[in-house]
Chains A and B, each alone.
Chain A
Amino acid sequence: MTREQRQTMTRITHETPPVRLDWRHHLTETTGILIAVILGLMLILSLVEPRFLAAQNLANLLRSASILAIISAGQMFVIIVRGFDLSVGATMAMVSVVTAMVMANVPEGTATSLTILYGVGAGFAAGAAVGLVNGLCVAYLKVHSFMVTLGTSSIVVGLALYLTNGIPVYGMPRGFSSEFGRAIWGGLPSAFYIGAGLALLFWVIQNLTTVGKYIYAVGGNFKSAVFSGLSANRYLVMAYVISGLTAALASILLTAQIGSGQGSIGGVLTFQSIAVAIIGGVSLQGGVGKIENVCLAALFLQLLTNAMELLRIQSQLQAVILGLIVILVAANDIRKTRSV
């Protein structure tokens, strides 16, 4: 039967119009709270500690926040599909080492741009490979992701250290480190532009494409997604590959900034990325999470770190505070889902 036939038979009874939503609806509760907290924190900091407003401090802050946002964006996709990626730190170590080694070992006389291209390409390949292994294990072994990623992170860090014997890898072209990694373009650090571009890309994916919808669907209710005819496992794996790729991108930016490939990079970033995602309202129950809130949460966390540095709070105590924040936000997440 054709659609036309059907329509002629249709008696329009009463059509219910869509609920009218204005722009405010699109800003969730989380967005509002985060913006308020960020502005408040900035205000207090600028009053209490004038060094906060120094151009150098702001540039560093923005660079670190951008890198954190990039990793957390990948973590967000994994949490949306009800997983956790504990291997992002390890992946960063691996990518850093691989990128630096490739750049340091290209044949003499290769053009700088090609050298960078090879290094960056190898880095992304390494990141995607880790993500793929994680994704395949989670999708087909059906084990909780944190066990799988704990295992792969041990393997990947071991590999990164084995390849370098734990010694930093030097010899990257200046065009990569000082002219890109530490560069300030138009008053803003290079990493910021890349982070903003990535955020825009993910916003488009989440809001305007089927891939974004499918990832939400797989996380919201896996069985329903299968019943609806989606190749659910494909989107599950995709989330982990995205996380591997974002970890790679963050690592490349960080490696460029430091100027050497290091197997010890990314240690605390795994936990920070999870913290950012959770603070940014990505639900631990799956199926919920927006890139814009994750970016705001990254900025918030970096501001907090910056504040503690400026106020000379021991860096180890930051771990304690972060741990508490994550548990409290998780408790709030539980409360929200229960009250529905």
Chain B
Amino acid sequence: MTRSKQASDASQNELLRLTGITKRFPGVLALSNVNFDLKEGEVHVLFGENGAGKSTLINVISGVLTPSEGAISLYGQPFRFSSPQDAREQGISPVFQEFSLIPDMTVEENLYLGREETTHGFLRKKEMRRAAMRILARLGFGIAPNARVSALPRAQQQMVEIAKALVTDPRILILDEPTASLTEAESARLFEFVRELRAQGVGIIYISHRMREIRDLADRVTVLRDGALISTVHAQDVTDDEMVELMTGRKAGVLYPRIPHNPGNVMLEARDLHTVRDRVRDASFQVRAGEIVGIAGLVGCGKSELVRAAFGLEPIDRGEVQFDGDTYAHPTAAQSLEHGICYFPADRGAEGLAATRPILENASMAALPENAFSIRGFLRKGSEKSRVQEIMERLQLRPMRLFAAVGSLSGGNRQKVVLARGMTRGTQVFLFDEPTVGIDVGAKAEIYALLGELVAEGAAVVLVSSELPEILGLSHRVYVMHNARVVAHLEGDEITEDRILSHFFTDHTDAA
């Protein structure tokens, strides 16, 4: 099928058109004046960095959020969604990254949740079983219909999620990074299926920031940056570099500072770490002073758990961590901090910040036991304030309001408050877990520059990231993880997109 020609055919029926959509949250403008449209039988990719507004946009389309301004027309008629259910009844099926499955129910119960086949309120279980098996078989996923969802691995949960979206025969299907936790074979099966749906006339909104997928699937691409529409282009008309430029707003390569590699002593080393719940299996890594070490891998591959275990946040089954000349079988966060190791969590809302408490308290949180902050358990409030003020000035917090609640800050400022924590005590090893999630491009550049400064001053930096360009642009060395194991270690010229990706997908099912 010659899809590119079909896609550009103007006579195709329009399924959805958004005009001037704006969405405000307290303190944040998530979307500003965005236009978007979707035609029958096309795959329209939403492209942008984390925090560019993609998720907000699909939440608006699927009725989860109501836009602050703007108009939606569906199948040519003006329309206002009042609820997710409303959108679903109109034939819009979203597959979110955050799962919408009930863990303690079976696959078939989940597939039909909210649209069960019934007679007089009684469930027609046999019919639903048959239909569920049909859908699962059609997707080619080997999942038993009466398996409990909580017992399935993440990749299979993702498949159930997709199957659930198809139960209603949608006209518009939304896929939000559906391959984030799938293997290559599973992804290939999914792509085949997406093409099949497109041939049947379903309109598909596909969120991804993987070039390969976009090349494989996209008819049109809409690029968002910092909540604004940058451009909508035909996929075959632009090169990869042009697309990255549209996404980041800078020439490729300019965003990432050139950071000299001056490796010194080994500051932190993990040997054969194995966590209690097998999220990390026999993984080793080390980081030296004066270098940035990247850890790359698919979502759920264990890369975040690896650094968390080394820092002391995940229970360790066996293996050891070495820092400051000592070896620890079960390091604690307090010990790590004491020895100058600081972890910066990916989910700043859930793990980093106490939102209703002031900036001051959040910034000094990790350093409270230090002498500058407390003596014999009593706080030294004056000293605390001047120290934090000093650090926030270096980080250029604007506006400088130390007693404002953290919840009222923008994403960039929140990250600065978290970063301040590393500077309140003499931190030498910085473990960054997805440091630029939910941050605009300007703040991102500031953070990259800060990483450069830190390394130049002799700090050791570990960078866990799902954004491949970030890993490629900053790391001196890269560990690649797959299925809870470290499967590759790349250095210098070996660090290329293709090499890293090849390790993402190969199944290393060693007998160990």
Contacts and interface: CB of A to CB of B under 8 A. Distances in A.
User: Do the two chains bind?
Assistant: yes
Interface string B81-123: 0011100110000001001111111000100011110100111
Given A209-B121, A227-B96, A340-B150, A216 B115 contact: no
Nearest to A211: B121
A231 B443 CA distance: 40
Interface string A178-211: 0000000000000000000000000000001111
A210 B169 contact: no
Contacts of B142: 14, 16
Contacts of A231: 85
Contacts of A223: 100
B114 A228 contact: yes
Contacts of A14: 137, 140, 142
Contacts of A10: 134, 137-138
A250 to B, nearest CB: 26
Nearest to B202: A1
B347 interface: no
Given A211-B121, A224-B101, A229-B85, A16 B133 contact: yes
Given A9-B200, A209-B121, A21 B146 contact: yes
Contacts of A3: 169
A6 interface: yes
B247 to A, nearest CB: 28
B136 interface: yes
B145 interface: yes
Contacts of A225: 102, 113-114
Nearest to B168: A229
Contacts of B354: none
B146 A18 contact: yes
Contacts of A5: 200
A54 interface: no
A288 interface: yes
Interface string A1-28: 1010111011111111111010000000
A14 B115 CA distance: 26
B144 interface: yes
Contacts of B137: 10, 12-16
Contact of B116 (A15, A19, A210): A210
Interface in B429-449: none
B252 interface: no
Contacts of A210: 116, 118, 121, 123
A307 interface: no
A226 interface: yes
B129 interface: yes
Interface residues on B, range: 35 or more
Interface string B147-162: 1001000000000000
A134 B19 CA distance: 43
A16 B135 CA distance: 11
Contacts of B96: 227
Interface of B is mostly: loop
Contacts of A89: none
A144 interface: no
A18 B100 contact: no
Interface in A209-252: 209-211, 213-214, 216-217, 220-221, 223-231
B468 interface: no
A287 interface: yes
A217 B150 contact: no
Nearest to B88: A229
A210 B118 CA distance: 8
A220 B134 CA distance: 26
A264 B196 CA distance: 68
A42 to B, nearest CB: 32
Nearest to B86: A229
Given A216-B104, A229-B85, A288-B104, A13 B133 contact: no
A220 B123 contact: no
B143 interface: yes
B472 interface: no
B300 interface: no
A229 B102 CA distance: 13
Given A1-B169, A16-B143, A210-B123, 14 more contacts: A9-B200, A12-B138, A14-B140, A15-B134, A16-B137, A18-B146, A221-B102, A224-B101, A227-B64, A229-B84, A229-B85, A229-B115, A288-B104, A340-B150
Interface of B: 64, 83-85, 88-89, 96, 99-105, 109, 113-116, 118, 121-123, 129, 133-134, 136-138, 140, 142-147, 150, 164, 169, 196, 200-201
20 contacts: A6-B200, A10-B138, A11-B138, A12-B138, A13-B140, A15-B134, A16-B136, A18-B129, A19-B144, A19-B147, A208-B122, A209-B123, A210-B118, A211-B121, A220-B102, A220-B105, A227-B100, A229-B115, A287-B104, A288-B104
